[in-house]
Structure 1
């Protein structure tokens, strides 16, 4: 990590699903709210390092009765 802070994903997220929390030392850590995310992908394109990918949520499989 080079100490470069980018918040392009937060800036492009209309649903406010991505926020940054200030950490000790002056750095910020991204916080993701999966329930607020609409899956629109607006955060993916502006990321200059390709750090964000969208994936289908894994559905919980029901246990089969024996």
Structure 2
């Protein structure tokens, strides 16, 4: 088992659900990362990036 693992909050999952999943696997959250998710759209012959949400990822450290 690795000492660190990334846990992504899935589409139909709450942050609490993700943290519980981490705990069940024996990991403790040490860092939260959040990044925007964009969608490409064409408007007036130009491609623009429209924010449609965000992706939350927790870094977990194994509990010893």
TM range (shorter): under 0.3
More strand as a share of residues = 2
TM-score by length of 1: 0.26
Higher RCO structure, 1 or 2 (CA under 8 Å, sep 6+): 2
More helix as a share of residues = 2
TM-score by length of 2: 0.27
